[in-house]
Amino acid sequence: MTDKLAVYAAVVESGNLTRAGERLFLSQSAVSRIVEALEREYGVRLLDRTNKSVRPTAAGHIVYQHALKAKDLAADTQQRIQELRAEPVGILAIGAGFTYGEYLLPHVMAKFVREYPLVHPKVTIMNCRRIAQRVKDGVLALGIIEGDDLPEGVFRQPFAEDELVLVVPPTHPLHDHSTVNLPDLADERWILREAGSATRQIVDRVFLDHSFTPSWRMEFGSSQIIKESVIAGLGISLLSRWSIGAEVQQGLLVPLRLRDYPVVSNFCTIVNASGFRPKVVTTFQEFLTAYTADDGHFAHRLPPG
């Protein structure tokens, strides 16, 4: 029955018996016999036929939806059986926030796929709020986020520490300081990430803890444009120390810490709390934790601690 349903689904999607046969490497007459056999089994006509095309009847639409579910079930069964293999295999759909996704994940993923060549990563970069929702909805198998603003039904596991530091251009009057007081920066032009990003959530919490309100602030959609804006002298910002290593080394940005207030948070993996977790996902989580535990990774990118 399942093979017949697969043929029928191909007919509906192709809109033509001949094209469906070409897609399945079957003759047109063989396809026609399979459809007729299904119609006899169900006792209804499934297709309206013309000289050039076919389209499903009302009953045919029901059978087509059943065929799609059977196809999904077969794929899920195959995936679960593959989980029993010694080596993870298949698509790894990951969503990552901008900081980790743009500055760290490429290096992690390069090593991961060298070790597990049968894994095919599919990476989406977006702000953490959207990633969490897509993990909850089952669109993504795993998310890498920063912060703790999560919907219910998502399981969070920290795996690495991050620190936000104040960044100024080398021409800034404070460039030769190692620490600064936040209240002294009220008249500065602040450049912040957009609402919904993890970095913005952390910065808002810092401002709230200090009852601090900048006189002038702007919102930009990525750390990269913020860095370029700070370099250009447009303003100052709080950014992840992982994201500014190259600019610090080149002398384009100067990192400063807030006095007596380290701005520390965690990178976390998130998965759907109730869903099946494929081996490719659990393997990547274990790899990520072990890889990040090596203090030597990316050390050249960090500003002085």
Is residue 253 predicted with pLDDT exceeding 90?
yes
Structural domains of the chain, with CATH: 2-82 (1.10.10.10), 90-160+266-301 (3.40.190.10), 162-265 (3.40.190.10)
Q: What is the pLDDT of residues 185-237, one digit of tens each?
A: 999 999 999 887 888 889 999 999 999 999 899 999 888 999 999 999 999 99
Q: For helices 28-42 and 58-82, what crossing angle results, to 10°?
A: 100
128: tokens are 């953490």
Pairing of strands 216-220, 142-146: unpaired
Whole-model pTM: value is 0.64
Q: What is the pLDDT of residues 261-272, one digit of tens each?
A: 889 988 999 999
What is the chain's mean pLDDT, rounded? 86
pLDDT of residue 84: 59
Q: What is the pLDDT of residues 271-290, one digit of tens each?
A: 998 867 888 899 999 999 88
Is residue 74 predicted with pLDDT exceeding 80?
no
Pairing of strands 90-96, 119-125: parallel
pLDDT of residue 86: 59
